[in-house]
Chain A
Amino acid sequence: MKVLKGRVIVSDGTLRGEALVSKRPISFLGGVDPNTGVIIEKNHDLNGKCIKDKILCFPHGHGSTVGSYVMYALAKNNLAPKAILNERADPVIVVGAVLAKIPMIDQLKIDEIKTGDMLEIYCKEGLIKILGE
């Protein structure tokens, strides 16, 4: 079993969930539908996938700064991911995670994680256990 350690940005106890992994940056504005939680960005490797209750793993955010409010809207609509794991945090995702209260850890090697992997996250310590499929 592999264990990753990163930097804690938003902490919320211990949680377990299924990974949804993208090799590409995500723009929440225009890239994710706040009413369905589905990724709608054209040509995105997660196009058509729903992020609700997933542990969403991607390198970093990009695009419009209104993305933070989309994350807040997703949380209000109960469509938020269970946690966010990034290679490198950027302000749009960080503020969105603070407002939406989504646990978030960065400085991780995202390519160690595969979509479908079950993950156990110890937020306080910034530890991620990869339990496999």
Chain B
Amino acid sequence: MLDGEYGWACQVCMQILVKLGELYGATRLIPISSAHISGVSYKTVGDAAIEFLMEIAEKGAKAKAFSTLNPSSIDPCLIDRFPRKLVEKQAEILQLYKRIGAVPSLSCTPYYEYVPAKNSNLAWAESSAVVYANSVLGAWTNREGAPSALASAIIGKTPNYGIHKPENREPNIIIDVLFQPRNEVEYGALGYYIGEVIRDKIPIVKGIKDASLDELKQFGAALASSGMTSMFHHGKKSKSNERLEAVTVEEREIKTVIEKLSSSKLEPDMIFIGCPHCSLQEIRRLASFIEGKKLKSGIEFWVCVSRYVKNKEKKLVRIIESSGAKVLTDTCAVVTWTDKLGVEKIATNSVKAAHYLPTMNKAEVLLIPMEKCVEIAYE
């Protein structure tokens, strides 16, 4: 394969896997039960990625592993609000992935629909999904790049290095959280702070055993935005080795993170919930806050989810949409062109989004919990 006897596409995919394997001391390639491919949004990947995908697709590359896709840049309801060229480019990318044989899940939370088996080996890109898979779902995946996940999808295998080895999943730093985070923003800020401190270490985080799955998702997404970590340990069952280096985190450190990422005196023209894409539980919570209320005029309220979640909770989606908010699939505010819609100020409950929006969307950010987002946007 490496010599090109299966064609150029397989050869370049093998080159990627072998190079990574060599670097990180892999001894062989192991089969994967799924791949999750990032690099789908035209806004984030641009024309060069289209060229690369086209080359791969034309040379006959077909996914050997079950493969899902990260969000694109457009929800069907946004098509008329963007220049035709952008819409066509995005459609071209989706078409290319379809030719390769990936499932158009178009979500950063593929794990709600296709739950990976515990201890199964995966090749996932999308750092928030990687951290969630390893830490919450107990599956095994390195933090793949968009091309390496694509390469694994096509070859059906991944090199057995890093987090695929049990000894590399052990914690090597203790984080003592000395306060109780009160909401998803504080859990996100905690993750962000820890990510900056530990870089690529695997922390055992003490003091967050009561966190909900959604709070752990926010924590992990932020952890992966500021650092290189692909996994954390938490909760009662986690073993801890008292000889490990220990770092304490106090409330004031979290406040500093929020102050750094958020402009407090901001009147948003958009609210963005759903980074990472909302769970069923988050949709239920949001609907309970919104029910019976009316969105203020001049403000857009975006709730981003997978098609799976939107279809599962049709009644709640109707409640949310009848209030004036939009429930979008296939995309999110970060990977679409909110700036082209005239949006300059975005309020969100996601620390990961707050990290990316200023550069990727040229937007000012207000970081507040979901409940507060509803409070300021509704009459």
Q: B359 to A41, Cβ gap below 8 A?
A: yes
Residue among B51, B52, B145, B199 with most chain A CB within 10 A: B145
Which residue on chain B has the smallest CB distance to residue A29? B44
| A60: B residues at CB distance < 8 A | 199-200, 228
- Interchain CB contact (< 8 A) of B23 among A25, A61, A94: A94
Q: A62 to B147, Cβ gap below 8 A?
A: no
Alpha-carbon distance A64/B147, docked complex (angstroms): 12
- Interchain CB contact (< 8 A) of A69 among B23, B48, B199, B225: B48
- Interchain CB contact (< 8 A) of B48 among A42, A76, A89, A94: A76
Which residue on chain B has the smallest CB distance to residue A42? B358
Q: A65 to B200, Cβ gap below 8 A?
A: no
Asked if B201 lies at the interface with its beta carbon under 8 angstroms from chain A, I say: no
Asked if A99 lies at the interface with its beta carbon under 8 angstroms from chain B, I say: yes
Which of B12-20, B204-212, B233-241, B367-375 forms contacts with chain A? B12-20
Asked if A90 lies at the interface with its beta carbon under 8 angstroms from chain B, I say: yes
Q: How large is the interface on B (under 10, 10 to 19, 20 to 34, 35 or more residues)?
A: 35 or more
| A66: B residues at CB distance < 8 A | 38-39, 44-45, 125, 145-146
| B359: A residues at CB distance < 8 A | 30-31, 40-42
B264 to chain A, nearest CB (A): 17
A64 to chain B, nearest CB (A): 6
Asked if B47 lies at the interface with its beta carbon under 8 angstroms from chain A, I say: yes
Residue among B20, B147, B148, B228 with most chain A CB within 10 A: B147
Asked if B186 lies at the interface with its beta carbon under 8 angstroms from chain A, I say: no
Alpha-carbon distance A44/B23, docked complex (angstroms): 28
Asked if A73 lies at the interface with its beta carbon under 8 angstroms from chain B, I say: yes
Alpha-carbon distance A88/B51, docked complex (angstroms): 30
| B227: A residues at CB distance < 8 A | 62
| B52: A residues at CB distance < 8 A | 69, 72, 99
Chain A proximity mask over B307-335: 1 for CB below 8 Å, otherwise 0: 00000000000000000000000000000
The 29 sampled A-B contact pairs (Cβ below 8 Å) are A9-B19, A9-B23, A10-B19, A30-B356, A30-B359, A30-B360, A31-B359, A42-B358, A60-B228, A63-B127, A63-B225, A64-B38, A65-B125, A66-B38, A68-B146, A68-B148, A69-B44, A69-B45, A69-B49, A76-B47, A77-B48, A90-B200, A91-B20, A92-B143, A95-B16, A95-B20, A95-B147, A98-B15, A99-B147
- A residues whose Cβ falls under 8 Å from a Cβ of B: 9-10, 25, 29-31, 34-35, 40-42, 60-70, 72-73, 75-77, 88-92, 94-96, 98-99
Contacts A25-B228, A66-B39 given; 18 further ones with Cβ under 8 A? A30-B356, A30-B359, A60-B200, A62-B226, A62-B227, A62-B228, A64-B225, A65-B38, A65-B149, A66-B125, A68-B146, A69-B46, A70-B44, A75-B48, A77-B48, A88-B200, A91-B142, A94-B20
